[in-house]
Structure 1
Amino acid sequence: VMDKRNNGNMSNSCFVNMGTSYLVIDSGPTFQYAAQAYEKMKKIKNLPVSYVINSHVHDDHWLGNGFYKAQGAQIIGLATFQELPKEEMTRMQRRISAEAYKGTTQVYPTLFVAKEKIFTINGKQVDIKSVNHKAHTANDLFVYIPSENIVFAGDLVFNERLPSLRDGNIDGWIAALEKLKKMDVKYVVGGHGDVVDKAAILFTYNYLTQLRDAVKKRLDVGEDIGDVVNEVVMPEYKNIPFYDSIHRQNVESVYRTLEWEDE
Structure 2
Amino acid sequence: MKRWLLLCALWLAQPVPIAAAQPGVLQPPDYRLAPREIASGVWLLEGANADFAPGNGCNIINTAFIDTGDGVVVINTGPSRLYGEQQRKAIATVTAAPVRLVLNLNLHPDYFFGNQAYADVGASALAGTIDGARREGAAYADNLYRLCGDWMRGTEPVPPAHALAPGRLTIGRHTLELVRLDGHTGDDLVVVDRSAGIVFAGGLVFRQRIPTTPHADIRRWLASLDRLQALLDESGARLLIPSHGPALGGAEAIAQTRGYLQWLDARLREAATQGRDLAEVLAMPVPASYAQWGAMPAEYLRNITHLYPAHEEAALKR
Amino acid at match of 1:112: A
The residue that corresponds to 2:96 in the other structure is 46
Q: 1:10 to 1:19 in 2, by over 3 A?
A: same
Q: Does 1:93 align with 2:142?
A: no
The residue that corresponds to 2:131 in the other structure is 82
How much does 1:219 deviate? Answer: 4.2
Q: Give % identity.
A: 26
Q: 1:249 to 1:82 in 2, by over 3 A?
A: closer
**Distance in 1 separating the partners of 2:294 and 2:245:** 11
Amino acid at match of 1:196: L
Amino acid at match of 1:120: T
Q: TM-score normalized by structure 1?
A: 0.85
Give CA deviations for 1:18-63 in whole Å, capped at 9, x if unaligned.
1121111101112221222222222222211111110111111111
8 Å contact from structure 2 (residues 175, 194) kept in 1:
yes
How much does 1:249 deviate? Answer: 3.4
8 Å contact from structure 2 (residues 112, 160) kept in 1:
no
Amino acid at match of 2:214: R
**Distance in 1 separating the partners of 2:92 and 2:275:** 57
Q: Does 1:105 align with 2:156?
A: yes
Q: 1:1-263 maps to which residues of 2 (within 5 A)? A: 1-70=51-120, 73-80=121-128, 81-83=130-132, 84-85=134-135, 86-87=137-138, 89-98=141-150, 100-113=151-164, 116-122=166-172, 124-131=174-181, 133=182, 135-183=183-231, 184=233, 185-198=237-250, 199-220=252-273, 222-226=274-278, 227-231=280-284, 233-259=286-312, 263=317
Query: How many residue pairs are counted as aligned between the two chains?
Result: 256
Amino acid at match of 2:90: K
Gaps of 5+ in 1: none
How much does 1:243 deviate? Answer: 2.1
**Distance in 2 separating the partners of 1:169 and 1:117:** 24
**Distance in 1 separating the partners of 2:152 and 2:171:** 31
**Distance in 2 separating the partners of 1:218 and 1:105:** 41
**Distance in 1 separating the partners of 2:258 and 2:205:** 8
Amino acid at match of 1:31: R
Determine helix, strand or coil for the equivalent of 2:55. Answer: coil
Q: 1:50 to 1:261 in 2, by over 3 A?
A: farther
Q: 1:172 to 1:259 in 2, by over 3 A?
A: farther
Q: TM-score normalized by structure 2?
A: 0.72
Judge which range, 173-182 or 241-250, deviates more.
Answer: 241-250
Amino acid at match of 2:86: Q
**Distance in 2 separating the partners of 1:43 and 1:34:** 14
Judge which range, 165-174 or 241-250, deviates more.
Answer: 241-250
The residue that corresponds to 2:27 in the other structure is none
Judge which range, 57-66 or 77-86, deviates more.
Answer: 77-86
8 Å contact from structure 1 (residues 170, 254) kept in 2:
no
Judge which range, 89-98 or 153-162, deviates more.
Answer: 89-98
How much does 1:260 deviate? Answer: 5.2
**Distance in 1 separating the partners of 2:169 and 2:109:** 26
How much does 1:261 deviate? Answer: 5.7
Give CA deviations for 1:76-105 in whole Å, capped at 9, x if unaligned.
11223235235284432232233x323433
Q: 1:214 to 1:103 in 2, by over 3 A?
A: closer
How large is the Cα RMSD of the aligned pairs?
Answer: 2.4
**Distance in 1 separating the partners of 2:138 and 2:53:** 19
